[in-house]
């Protein structure tokens, strides 16, 4: 090998060694992994947080596979009417029973009410109410779920001397709140009440009939 090619080869090898020996650029002070070259940290998009209801009604974070069930739609009543009949039997020992009958027609899933009031001389307060609220609901098996509230004040008959002697019952107030299952057209005794002092007894019979 001549001297000139040997010199060229030596210079080439030295240049390669200098290039490999140069240090790699290091990140600037304060710059960490995950940051852009301009020194700004990469921002991850926010994910919506789903919650579920835990014990006591408190909301808790839901898991990634937790599905939130939608609320069931509110039940709409069928376009069917229900006739509701009430028979109130008021009886005292040794006397013939007195019956009072009330009827109303109510749509499925709705509420009906009756308000009546009488003024009676010689009765404390003077006014005697008879009030009924009822709400029938048709079931899948053809039966009827019926709820009702009844207010019936029972005045005692006016008899004997006036003023009445001490301990005489002037009026008894009765309030019934009942929810029961009925078959269409079949009556049922839903409540029986007794005077807490006197010998009067009152029973409430109810019948619900689907009108087709």
Cα dist. 154→124, 169, 187 in Å?
Answer: 11, 10, 23
pLDDT tens figures, 84-130: 999 999 888 778 888 999 999 999 999 999 999 887 776 656 678 89
Residue 75: predicted pLDDT: 63
Query: What would the 3-class secondary structure string for the chain be?
Result: CCHHHHHHHHHHHHHHHHHHHCCCCCCCCCCCCCECCCCCECCCCCCCCCEEECHHHCEEECCCCCCCCCCCCCCCCCCCEEEEEEEEEEEECCCCCEEEEEEEEEECCCCEEEEEEEECCCCCCCEEEEEEEEEEEECCCCCEEEEEEEEEEEECCCCCCCCCCCCCCCEEEEEEEEEEEECCCCCEEEEEEECCCCCEEEEEEEEEEEEC
What are the tens digits of pLDDT across the range 12-36? 665 555 555 555 555 555 555 545 5
Residue 2 confidence class, pLDDT cut points 50, 70, 90: low
The reported pLDDT for the residue numbered 101 is 94
**Cα–Cα distance for residue pair 134/111, rounded to 1 Å:** 6
Mind listing the pLDDT tens digit for each residue in 132-151?
A: 999 999 999 999 999 999 99
Mean of pLDDT values over 142-167: 77
Residues 6+ apart with CB under 8 A from 178: 147, 148, 150, 190, 191, 204
Q: Quick one: what percent of the chain has pLDDT higher than 90?
A: 36
Mean pLDDT confidence for 40-53: 56
Q: What is the mean pLDDT of the chain?
A: 76
Predicted confidence (pLDDT) at residue 170 exceeds the cutoff of 60: yes
- CB atoms near residue 86 (< 10 Å): 22
Which band of pLDDT confidence, cut at 50, 70 and 90, is reported for residue 154? Answer: confident
Report the pLDDT value the prediction gives residue 60, as an integer from 0 to 100.
58
């Amino acid at each position: 090998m001549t001297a000139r090619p040997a010199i060229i080869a030596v210079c080439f090898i030295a240049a390669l060694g200098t290039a490999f020996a140069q240090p790699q650029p290091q990140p600037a002070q304060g710059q960490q992994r995950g940051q852009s070259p301009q020194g700004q940290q990469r921002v991850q998009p926010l994910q919506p947080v789903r919650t579920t209801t835990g014990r006591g009604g408190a909301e808790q974070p839901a898991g990634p596979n937790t599905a939130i069930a939608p609320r069931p739609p509110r039940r709409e009543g069928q376009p069917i009417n229900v006739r509701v009949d009430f028979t109130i039997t008021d009886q005292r020992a040794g006397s013939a029973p007195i019956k009072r009958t009330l009827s109303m027609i109510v749509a499925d899933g709705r509420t009906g009410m009756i308000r009546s009031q009488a003024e009676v001389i010689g009765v404390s307060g003077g006014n005697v109410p008879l009030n009924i609220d009822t709400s029938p609901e048709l079931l899948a098996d053809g039966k009827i779920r019926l709820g009702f509230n009844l207010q019936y004040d029972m005045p005692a008959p006016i008899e004997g001397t006036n003023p009445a002697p001490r301990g005489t019952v002037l009026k008894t107030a009765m309030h019934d709140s009942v929810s029961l299952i009925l078959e269409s057209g079949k009556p049922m005794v839903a409540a029986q009440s007794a005077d807490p002092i006197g010998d009067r007894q009152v029973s409430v019979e109810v019948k619900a009939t689907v009108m087709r």
